[in-house]
Every structure is written in C-alpha cells, then in structure tokens.
Chains A and B, each alone.
Chain A
C-alpha cells in the first residue's frame, strides 16, 4: 500500500497558506446539503462540530457521556502552548515548531507540526473571544507560565483547570449550534462500528446507551475525535470511560493504525495503593520546578524520609542530568524512577514510589510561598493520600497518561479511507514519539477549529458522492454484525467479570509493554494476550440484557476491543527495534542507559493494516523527511 501524506509542495512556512488557497471550496448555499458525523465532543470533536456547523454543514454529534461537556479533555490541568511571544523572550512559530519536533524525538512530520505552531496563536484569540477566563496580569494582559521541554514562557492557563475551561468554550460554541438547529446532539450514544461503502466512510452504527437500541447514521463524511487508548494498560490517568472502540472498529474496517507503541508514561502521579485501585491521579509537572526527586542510596532502606540523612539520599535526576535536573523530560524522568525502584530503592507501600521533596523549597520561600504556587495540588495530594506534603515529601510514580499513536492521517487529517477524518488524540499526527507538556490541548483545538473546516470543504467539493441512506445493504450488514457481537457477549455467562479481564490485560501490558520493553517481554505479551482474549470469550459474565441501560455490557464491549488492540500495540513495539521518545527498547541504550534511536532504519511512521483477529497485522511505512530540522541526539545532560 502506498501511503501518501499529501504534504503540499513549497517552503515549510508557506505550505499551509498555499494549501488553503489551492483547496476547493463549497458554496455557502451548498454546505447545508451536506451531513457530517462527529464522534466525540472533547476539544477536537467539540471544536470541529461547532466550527463545521457555523459554516453551514449539518452535524450529527455523538458522545457516550451523559453530556458533551464531560469529555476527558476536561481533566487537562497545566495549560496550552502558543507562539504568541507576549513575553518578548524569543519565542516564534519556528521555535515552537522546533521544540515540538525535538520533543517528539524526530518521529513527527515537519509540515504538520509547523502548521500546528502557526495556528496556535489563533487558538488563544478564539478562546479569549469565547469568554475563556485565562489567567491575567494586573494590567489586564494574558499571563504565561513555563513548561517542560522549552526555554521560553509560552503556556497560557486557567489555574490548574485549563482543559476544563477550553473544553467549556468549545462546548458552549457547540451548544450555540445545537440551539441554532445545525447540530443534532446524541449524548449517551456509543459508536460501535464504521460503515464503509465503495471504499468510503459513509456512516456509523451506534448503540443508544439508555434504550440499548442499535441504530445507523449515514453522512457524507465521518470525523472521529474519540481520544486515546491509555486504558489498554487498565490503570492510567485517563477517565474510566476512555476507550479504543471507535478507532479500533474503524481500523478493522480498513483504517490504518499508526505508531500504537508510542504511549506516554507521565512521571509524576500518585502511586498505586492497592488492588482495588481504579485510576491514577496526575500531579502536575509544574511541581518539579520546586520539588527534588530522591530515593535512599541503600536498597531496602525502610526508614521514614526525615530519618534518612542527606548523605544517604540519591537525588538521581540531579546526579544523572545536571543541566536539566528535576526538569528532565517526561520519558527520561519516568524511566529513571522505574530503574530506582527496580533496584529495590523504591519507597512507600509496595516499593513502587520515589520522593518528591519540597523541604529545600520550603526553606527558601517558606510554606506561604509554596502555598501560593501549588496550593490546589498539595490539597489534592493530601486529600487522596491522607498525608501532609508540607510535612513529609510526596511519593510519586509514573503512570500511563497520553497516546501519541492513533489512526493514520494525511496532511488533511484524513485517514486512508476517503471520508474518514481523525482529530485530536485519536490521530497520530503531531507529537512523534513523545509529547511535550501543554501541547495536547493545542493540537486538539488546532485540528477542530482551524484545520478540519478547510480540509472537509476540500474533500466534499472534490469528491462527488452518491447519496446513501441507512437502508443500504451495507448498513444492514454492519448492524447485524454489531447485534451479533452484543448478543455473544450477553450469552457467554461465564464466571469472570469484564473488569477482572481488563485488570489482567493491564498487568500484562504494564509488565511487558510498559516503560522498558525487550524482545523477550514483548514475545511474552504476544503469547499471553491471545490466551487471555480466548478466555474472555469463553468465560466472561455480562449480566442484564441488551435492550436497556447496561454498564456491564458497555464495559465488556470496550474490554473486548482492548484485548485485540493490545496485540497490535505489542506488534508495533516489537517491530520498532530502536529506542525513541516514550518507546524504550532495553536492547537499544548506550553505556549510561540513554535511549538510542536508529534513524537509518526507523525514520518512518509505522501504519498497520488489520489482517484479521489473531493474525499478524501488516506494517506499511511512511518515510519521514526532514528538510528544515536536522535530527540530533536529544541530550538533557
């Protein structure tokens, strides 16, 4: 299969402007004749549905939550990057582009990332106009904070709730279009399959989560903005409902899945306390500005932290990376914490934790100073752990946080299936092998507000569609398959719950396909996943019926997809025989344990084609060409 990224010709800085002019337009009077399906109502999906409706298209918008305002974008804490250079500190579109490409360990497309940096400035303007209450300086100007992986201050924020506020801005724009009649909102409705007719995405099959009814929707194009797949590891910072179903079902219908092994493990999360744990909570990266990370030098040292003398502590990030110290990037900090715990030097119950100590900072700026900077985070920590972080150091440990991989898309954000567009975390496009902080919000909104409104018009204007409706035989066939899968899940009546299978899958993935991957561990996972999947289909117990609200059934459906997708992720991790960004293969490290990239062999995007459940998927490659930036070894020492 030939993958065409459709990157426009011309110099990097002119590509998007030239492309916008070259793209075809749909006459305003004709826009209302088109129907677009948008799955997901987070930053990308909400922004896309609102912006497309403003242009005059008819939208059908879907979310599984009870309200579009609850999509998981709402949980993002830190901020959103934009190359505004309001601080006069040397920021520019080119610098944001460069930082993002480097942060991604040279595994992202230059053209996409450059466009992202260009539209970043429009996002801030748009959000301000919507009434997003960004933090301000006393003179009334927008405030900025610093974030990892950058030497300029370009992050805009709303306290520790930036995702929530940007999300509500998009939600309110969506509400306005619902009230104008151009968006039909389907909440508590889950996409269960994609319908492809004559090679094009023409609709979806959904389940109404209240009535259990399985229904079809037809359209001229389908937009998936259904988020990432972090919960394939079971425990993650994602919401409980986050799932891979929409993108994975599209993958099974022919859409290629790109770089699924690029999963980000965030270094600062509250450690696991017991088997009952359902999710992990992130503590913002900003804490590493003042906190010092350490473990005892001696393995098995069980003394309370205040009884470990200074000379017997190992501030390992400061020791290994003197120039970045505690602010080393996420992938590097996470691996260093794992190493310390693997050596038996971890702290807290179970020994999977490291200290994040504020004693020095408290000595320097006092409790009051710390309270001003981090009060809400300290409160959150105290609330969850019942410990006082002003008295004793916090304990933290890495956790699955974000997925750089996703469905493959071209420059227009269209998958290899014409008419299927993929936005936000659901696509693979901009973050390469590692995402920098405050860049997820930027990408979701860039895709939804400023890219899809243009590329959708171009697609509709240049592709004559034959009208289809849901009576088409293909819709009926896919509906029947969805019914069959639902009925199968309900009929097994085994002994184990879907959650118990999900936990076991998560353990296989975390132990073998987590922060450090080896050929051996990946082969082990490839043997264990199909066995677990087989057991699931013989021994899962789903109570209740299909014609009602049934959360056990919803969960079982999502877990069944994770059980297939996990294998794809592992194949990708095994195939990529190098270390890059968040993907660390223990075979590829230098004498000091640093990741070794192999640009000669792996300077490409892996795009996987589904070949049947349990069959090895086929890998296609899109070569990455660097015309502006010269890939170098990332060094933070």
Chain B
C-alpha cells in the first residue's frame, strides 16, 4: 500500500517548524506505524536528508516512549487501545493521507521534529509520587493484608506508562489523569496512607507549576489512554485533595 504523510519537522526548540509531505511507498499492512517511519527514514538517509526524529524504544506498548499525534488523535486511530508502536498499517487505507505531529502542550516543549521534553511528568512524581521508605527493614510482605479489590484498583491506576497522551488529547493540556493515577494507586494501598495528604497537595502544586491546565471533564484523556486508565481516578484525586485540606500535613 502507499500512504501520503504530512509530518511536523522542526530543527530544534528555536525553529518555527512546518509540516512536510513524504510518500511512504510499497509499505505492508502488517507493518507497524513506526516501522513505516523507519522505511521513510531509511530512504531519507539514502538521499542524504535528515531522518524524522521520533521517540520510541520497546515497541510493545509498555515503555511509554512513543508519542505521536496521528490525524489529530494521540497514538492514532480512535479505540485501537494501545501506544503508537502498537498501531498497524492495516488500520489505514491505501492512498490515505496521514498527518503526524508531536504532542502539543506548553509543558511539553518540542526538542526536535516529533520529540518533546516530558520531564515535567518526572518532576510531578519527584514532588511526592512515592512512599518514603528506605531500602532495608521493610516488614514481611504479608504483614499487612491488602484487600484484593483495592490491590486490583491500585494496579489499574499503576498501569500508567507515562506517555503523556492524556495531556496531548486534552484541550486544556491537563495532566490530571497522569497525576491522579499515581495519587490514586498510593492512596488505595495501606503503605501509601501515612503520606496521602501531603502527597496529593505537593503533586497537584507541581502539576500547576509546570503549566498543565485544569480538568473540565471532557474525558478525552481516558479515550486516548493506551492503558484505559479511568477518569474515576481523577475523581479520587479530587476527593484526596479536598480531604487533605481538612487534615494536617502528616495525615
């Protein structure tokens, strides 16, 4: 099959950037979208042109590196339920035109072409997305029982791969789903309880400081999330935040 690509090219953070058209010729329906970009890049290098820069690593939907906005949708076709690397060309039609852009958000400045700086997400975790426990001296793993249903809900939230699709899909560029997933996971487990109030306050504060927008309940984040993380976690984060204003720092 043949595809026409319009790809965002931007030399560096200072460059203005523009869409550039490329032809992907004789590509196979069984190729992944990123393998198709590999083919285009190999041709560009052969012509002495610079290949399209994009982030990718595991190519099986778990590392969270890949992050393409394809035809206006984070990670591509609606409802394919995976990361960009899990998108296959069989979901497109021969001759289709495809627009490929980087994540767009103030907190995710473009570094080059389709690569953006997502360190803001790391800084939100650094603000409090952890349990303050040093290595060594932990009690036996079975010392504190955790109800199965809580463990499962915590796992639903913990499945977040930190790709940032929720931010890219949100018209407010909000990082609420990302932040809520971590707040929710740790609030649901007894090990996270001692710091739950301080944690949610610090993480929300950092999220605001990074320039992410607020949530206005469009649920685009949930629709774009490759791990189907539910907006119910945002509701839980809001409750945790409200609760934190009624208790002291330590509880």
Given the complex, which residues of A lie within 8 Å of B142, measured CB to CB? 86, 141-142
Interface residues as binary, B175-188 with A (CB distance below 8 Å gives 1, 0 otherwise): 00000000001100
Q: What distance in Å separates the Cβ of B76 from its nearest Cβ neighbour in chain A? A: 13
In the complex, A386→B159 CA distance in Å? 24
Which of B60, B152, B162 is within 8 Å of A281, CB to CB?
B60
Contact A124 B141 (CB under 8 A): yes
Which of A47, A122, A239 is within 8 Å of B138, CB to CB?
A122
Segment from A7-15, A256-264, A272-280, A360-368 that makes contact with B: A272-280
Segment from B1-9, B121-129, B213-221 that makes contact with A: B121-129
Which of B117, B145, B191 is within 8 Å of A130, CB to CB?
B191
Q: From residue 105 to 162 of chain A, which have CB atoms closer than 8 A to chain B?
A: 122, 124-131, 133-142, 158-159, 161
Q: Which residue of B lies closest to A47 (CB)?
A: B135
In the complex, A450→B122 CA distance in Å? 25
Contact A541 B45 (CB under 8 A): yes
Contact B51 A552 (CB under 8 A): yes
Q: What distance in Å separates the Cβ of A184 from its nearest Cβ neighbour in chain B? A: 12
Q: Which residue of B lies closest to A551 (CB)?
A: B53
In the complex, A543→B38 CA distance in Å? 15
Q: Which residue of B lies closest to A50 (CB)?
A: B135
Q: What distance in Å separates the Cβ of B13 from its nearest Cβ neighbour in chain A? A: 9
Instruction: Check A70/B65 contact, CB under 8 A, given A137-B148, A386-B88, A552-B51.
Output: yes
Q: Which residue of A lies closest to B65 (CB)?
A: A70
Instruction: Check A497/B46 contact, CB under 8 A, given A133-B154, A450-B135.
Output: yes
Q: From residue 290 to 314 of chain A, which have CB atoms closer than 8 A to chain B?
A: none
Instruction: Check A175/B126 contact, CB under 8 A, given A273-B30, A453-B135.
Output: yes
> Which of A67, A173, A273, A450 has most B Cβ within 10 Å?
A67
Contact A278 B35 (CB under 8 A): yes
Given the complex, which residues of B lie within 8 Å of A210, measured CB to CB? 111
In the complex, A125→B138 CA distance in Å? 6
Instruction: Check A140/B147 contact, CB under 8 A, given A130-B130, A130-B191, A383-B82.
Output: yes
Interface: B209 (CB within 8 A): no
Which of B30, B31, B122 is within 8 Å of A175, CB to CB?
B122
Contact A140 B146 (CB under 8 A): yes
Given the complex, which residues of A lie within 8 Å of B126, measured CB to CB? 175-176, 178-179
Which of A139, A176, A241 is within 8 Å of B130, CB to CB?
A176
Q: What distance in Å separates the Cβ of B242 from its nearest Cβ neighbour in chain A? A: 22
Given the complex, which residues of A lie within 8 Å of B31, measured CB to CB? 274, 276
Which of A69, A131, A161 is within 8 Å of B159, CB to CB?
A161
Contact B63 A74 (CB under 8 A): yes
Which of B44, B60, B111, B140 is within 8 Å of A279, CB to CB?
B60
Q: Which residue of A lies closest to B43 (CB)?
A: A497
Q: Which residue of B lies closest to A84 (CB)?
A: B141
Instruction: Check A67/B119 contact, CB under 8 A, given A54-B134, A541-B45.
Output: yes
Contact B90 A386 (CB under 8 A): yes
A-B contact count (CB 8 A): 214
Q: What distance in Å separates the Cβ of B47 from its nearest Cβ neighbour in chain A? A: 9
In the complex, A67→B155 CA distance in Å? 21
Which of A67, A173, A178 is within 8 Å of B121, CB to CB?
A67
Contact A70 B64 (CB under 8 A): yes
Interface: B133 (CB within 8 A): yes
**What is the interface of chain B mostly: helix, strand, loop, or mixed?**
loop
Interface residues as binary, A177-197 with B (CB distance below 8 Å gives 1, 0 otherwise): 011000001010000000000
Instruction: Check A449/B122 contact, CB under 8 A, given A161-B62, A164-B62, A278-B32.
Output: no
Contact A130 B131 (CB under 8 A): yes
Q: What distance in Å separates the Cβ of A207 from its nearest Cβ neighbour in chain B? A: 15
Q: What distance in Å separates the Cβ of B41 from its nearest Cβ neighbour in chain A? A: 8
Instruction: Check A239/B58 contact, CB under 8 A, given A67-B162, A131-B186.
Output: yes
Given the complex, which residues of A lie within 8 Å of B132, measured CB to CB? 176
Given the complex, which residues of B lie within 8 Å of A134, measured CB to CB? 141, 151
Interface: A172 (CB within 8 A): yes
Q: What distance in Å separates the Cβ of B51 from its nearest Cβ neighbour in chain A? A: 6
Which of A124, A278, A450 is within 8 Å of B34, CB to CB?
A278
Contact A552 B135 (CB under 8 A): no
Interface: A65 (CB within 8 A): yes
Interface residues as binary, B185-223 with A (CB distance below 8 Å gives 1, 0 otherwise): 110010110000000000000000000000000000000
Interface: B42 (CB within 8 A): yes
In the complex, A68→B119 CA distance in Å? 10
Interface: A527 (CB within 8 A): no
> Which of B56, B60, B147, B154 has most A Cβ within 10 Å?
B60
Query: Beyond the given A131-B185, A141-B142, A175-B125, could you list 20 further A-B residue pairs with CB under 8 A, ordered by the A residue number?
Result: A65-B57, A65-B65, A70-B58, A122-B138, A129-B131, A129-B138, A130-B130, A130-B133, A131-B186, A133-B154, A136-B148, A159-B155, A171-B125, A172-B131, A173-B135, A281-B60, A386-B88, A453-B136, A549-B111, A552-B45
B interface residues, Cβ below 8 angstroms from A: 11-12, 27-28, 30-32, 34-35, 38-39, 42, 44-46, 48-51, 53, 55-60, 62-65, 82, 86, 88, 90, 111-112, 115, 117-119, 121-122, 125-127, 129-136, 138-142, 144-148, 151-152, 154-155, 158-159, 161-162, 185-186, 189, 191-192
By Cβ-Cβ distance, the 7 closest A-B pairs, closest first, are A140-B145, A172-B130, A129-B138, A133-B154, A125-B138, A128-B141, A51-B135
| 23 sampled A-B residue pairs with Cβ under 8 A | A47-B135, A66-B118, A69-B64, A72-B58, A74-B64, A128-B191, A131-B186, A134-B151, A139-B145, A164-B159, A210-B111, A239-B58, A240-B59, A274-B28, A274-B31, A281-B60, A449-B136, A495-B46, A497-B46, A543-B44, A543-B45, A544-B50, A552-B45
